[in-house]
A and B are shown apart, each in its own frame.
Chain A
């Protein structure tokens, strides 16, 4: 065969081979795209799909009237692009560091270190540029440094700063809940993150039609506290003033509704601003002393001994005993003035806070077992169960470990350790007629979206500790402490206060009492017969002459809190003839119709707040009594900071001015005549 024929045959052969190969290719293609497609799709999806979590919004913490105590705010993080590969990078790190340092409050070197890192594409300028507020962000923006950008994010914000800091706790910038309600209710507040599945390209951009599945996040629940922002603010203010004057080591104040166990205010000093928690150097400052600190209560503890003695019918107010000192198996116990007052009645003994009287009642008459039983029944040595983290049970020795001296000391409040909340709850039982309650600080938990109430606090009686009659008798006696005894500096105009002072000498590390170092306290409630409020104030080591005693330190705190709160709550006065008792009261919502005050009628138009206090103008409060002024403020959603007593003579926001965002107004009060003269 010639060349041409050979070519023909061989070309046909090759044609057949090529055709066969093409069928292989076609078959392979069919295999991949039809038969094996599902398997490949499933694998490919794993590569495209990037599940991401969508963080939920954290639930707000509100006070009992719905005012925001903790919320979420927009924040900005300063980010520097530093990769040499990026066209829009920081090209002059020295210049950038120099300009940024003063704005971010960081040193130039610190910033320069971040800007010259080689292991990152972008860096966040932490800590100074981490989650900063809008104002600071604008300052950074104005610098106009190339390569510096701001990333919007959110952070926890506490609109009232230090207010109720220990109750609230805080959420750190990196999202950890520390202390307080934030920590205890972290799970409820946190919410459930949403999930989002998107298909992304290799550069992490979302592919066209790449949004595959979105499950929206479920926002955290709203936690409503029993706290009343206004009362809390009275407390904070009073403690601030005492701190300025007496520089105590620490202070604690609790305001409770003794009938329900609701804590209306709780504050400690020293405190901190949860918005700038990182400024706190000593972490003990985050501790909520009201539930986590144990101290010797001193004489306020005598209320328990007294109630026990009355309940056991071992107390006769008119019976007499020899005060001054008493000796027995427990050694010798002296009254605080060391000499005593001669032969006096037990009622006088209580009024004068005579240790001897309580050794007789507690050690000799009740005896170790019965006294111990009562102390236990009043909840000492046992956690109250309040919804706050870090609560401790206090220190109560077991009976078999108690020597006679321990029993005698316990009868007047020494050698026993309590927490402030324990003591407040124990005395609340006297105020409410004999029931030991579980204290509450969480009033409601609500669904943030629907507002549906998921949990509502109910007053909870742990047990009856004394009878109604006993409680009443103790209240009567405690009133005489204020009218005739050691509690006289704590009396209020307008309301009958019952209470008990306490002065405990501090124990040193060697177990011996330190001279000149005292814990001063007062626990009291009002109005005496139907108590609405119980206030407990503890001041540790104030710089005050021991001769002036706690009255100089504690009484102003107690009285400011109690008086302002009673006025604010519109509690009817039960003390006849007190000045101001007959002053006109302003009913909520009627503020605008009140008779024109000293400054004329025109001002009143602004007082028409619309219930929730979202908008409106400042009413003229001048000339109003504190009670009326507080009523108007409450109606307008304003928080009053009160200075002085009597009638309003000055207000920090001019009448008719728009209400400020923070809804704070400072009121100065003076005697009415003074106001007239102005």
Chain B
């Protein structure tokens, strides 16, 4: 029988710390735009606070629900998510923002099904793999079926199109497969196929080529493909070691578009400097390390895989987001967990951490 202990504080505290920093930074980054667009500089702050409250609530709920409960709902959950992923593509129901039909609107609030799909997929895949752990070394019987499922979800997400979330979903699943013991040869083969697929996707939408080359030399097209990155660098660079001071960002004055979402780390680095940025990275690092430890010490394979998936998802998002903002990766729309403005992504990631915390309570 599993004995329940206290959750891992070293996961909970960094999470709440990052959340606090995030809420403050959302306010600082968005106040100017919010005032301009809504005449209320607190517009985004109020909503983000509400999301954070909801998220923390969800975190405490999931922290106290035994994680194996999710096993039972994994299939239904994923099915529901697939349904939503299809519904969101229907014009009139799905809302287009920033060029992607990713939202289902309910009054003033809206949901992003692809965000929830990530968690549902983690739970489902963990169940699937933990039940068929022996078959994982087989390509056709072990690896391919879950891959097809993930591929289907990825395909639906790419129809929105939302390359960022799709990439995270795909990456998270690969991490889980790897953790579950898939053969490296298979994975490398898959990587090759994936690379070809990526190339095909890029060729299908030429704007992605520009985006991909732009991060190498953003100054080639400073007003086009390189614009986001240049504006981001103009925030980070002048931030320097100590930053311009909280609230003192210049780039949030219309230069950096939507500074409260994907590029919030640039504003953070501008206002709080290298030290602030490093603090955020260290908090993430701590959280991820403890999460990884939870994966290792989980009492069963399902728990291990769920933890791995959640940690992998957060790690991927952090690495890609900050990589994009600092010009190491092509610009892709991925939120920074806990920090970026956005109801779906924030509540989802907090819920996921809640699950992770619950697993940590059964660590051996």
Q: What residues of chain A have their CB less than 8 Å away from a CB belonging to chain B?
A: 3-4, 6-8, 10-12, 14-15, 18-19, 21-22, 24-26, 28-30, 32-34, 36-37, 39-41, 43-44, 47-48, 199, 201-203, 205, 207-209
Contacts and interface: CB of A to CB of B under 8 A. Distances in A.
Interface stretch (B40-48, B161-169, B175-183): B175-183
Contact of B326 (A7, A32, A209): A32
Contacts of B284: 22
Contacts of A41: 237-238
22 contacts: A3-B130, A3-B180, A7-B180, A7-B304, A10-B181, A12-B292, A18-B315, A19-B289, A22-B284, A25-B323, A25-B326, A26-B281, A29-B269, A29-B326, A34-B274, A37-B238, A40-B236, A47-B255, A48-B250, A201-B250, A202-B255, A208-B248
A32 to B, nearest CB: 5
B219 to A, nearest CB: 9
Closest 4 CB pairs of A and B: A40-B237, A201-B253, A202-B254, A44-B234
Given A33-B236, A34-B240, A34-B241, 12 more contacts: A3-B133, A7-B180, A7-B295, A7-B301, A7-B308, A11-B296, A29-B274, A29-B277, A36-B237, A44-B238, A202-B255, A203-B254
Q: Which applies to chain A's interface (DSSP): helix, strand, loop or mixed?
A: helix
Contacts of B22: none
A39 B304 CA distance: 46
Nearest to A1: B181
Contacts of A10: 178-179, 181
Q: Which of B239, B241, B289, B312 has the most C-beta atoms of chain A within 10 angstroms of its own C-beta?
A: B239
A12 to B, nearest CB: 7
Interface of B: 130, 133, 175, 178-181, 233-234, 236-241, 248, 250, 253-255, 269, 273-274, 277-278, 281, 284-285, 288-289, 292, 295-296, 301, 304-305, 308, 312, 315, 318-319, 322-323, 326-328
A48 B254 CA distance: 12
B253 A33 contact: no
B237 A19 contact: no
A33 B277 contact: yes
A65 B323 CA distance: 74
A204 to B, nearest CB: 10
A6 B236 contact: no
Contacts of A14: 175, 178-179, 292, 308, 312
Q: Which of A11, A14, A199, A209 has the most C-beta atoms of chain B within 10 angstroms of its own C-beta?
A: A11
A272 to B, nearest CB: 49
Contacts of B304: 4, 7, 11
Nearest to A17: B315
Nearest to B275: A33
A36 B238 CA distance: 9
A29 B181 contact: no
Contacts of A40: 233-234, 236-238
Contacts of B233: 32, 40
A8 B304 CA distance: 9
B340 to A, nearest CB: 16
A28 B265 CA distance: 13
Nearest to A209: B248
Contacts of B312: 14
B177 to A, nearest CB: 10
A248 to B, nearest CB: 65
A11 B319 CA distance: 17
A22 B281 contact: yes
Nearest to A13: B178
B178 A33 contact: no
A11 B239 CA distance: 35
Nearest to B278: A26
Given A33-B241, A40-B233, A22 B254 contact: no
Contacts of A18: 288, 292, 315, 319
Q: Which of A14, A26, A202, A209 has the most C-beta atoms of chain B within 10 angstroms of its own C-beta?
A: A14
A37 B235 CA distance: 10
B179 A33 contact: no
Contacts of A202: 253-255
B301 A4 contact: yes
Contacts of A205: 253
Contacts of A48: 250
A25 B312 CA distance: 17
Q: Which of B274, B284, B312 has the most C-beta atoms of chain A within 10 angstroms of its own C-beta?
A: B274
A12 B289 CA distance: 9
Contact of B181 (A6, A24, A203): A6
Contact of B236 (A4, A32, A201): A32
Contacts of B254: 201-203
Contacts of B305: 7
A446 B272 CA distance: 54
Contact of B237 (A8, A39, A208): A39
Contacts of B238: 37, 40-41, 44
Nearest to B243: A33
Contacts of A203: 253-254
A208 B250 CA distance: 8
Nearest to B234: A44
Contacts of A37: 237-240
Contact of B328 (A3, A28, A39): A28
A7 B179 contact: yes
Nearest to B222: A47
A207 B254 CA distance: 11
A22 B269 contact: no
A431 B123 CA distance: 115
A25 to B, nearest CB: 5
Nearest to A48: B250
A24 B179 contact: no
Nearest to A45: B238
Contacts of B322: 25, 29
A24 B323 CA distance: 9
Contacts of B178: 10, 14
A26 B323 CA distance: 10
A202 B304 CA distance: 49
A32 B234 CA distance: 10
A8 B237 CA distance: 40
A21 B320 CA distance: 10
Nearest to A25: B322
A13 to B, nearest CB: 9
Nearest to A28: B326
Nearest to B247: A208
A517 B322 CA distance: 92
A15 B253 contact: no
B296 A33 contact: no
Contact of B255 (A15, A34, A36, A201): A201
A33 to B, nearest CB: 4
Q: Which of B236, B305, B323, B327 has the most C-beta atoms of chain A within 10 angstroms of its own C-beta?
A: B236
B41 to A, nearest CB: 14
Nearest to A210: B250
B31 to A, nearest CB: 12
A22 B288 CA distance: 11
B277 A43 contact: no
B168 to A, nearest CB: 14
Contacts of A44: 234, 237-238, 250
Nearest to B297: A8
B334 to A, nearest CB: 14
A33 B237 contact: yes
Nearest to B232: A32
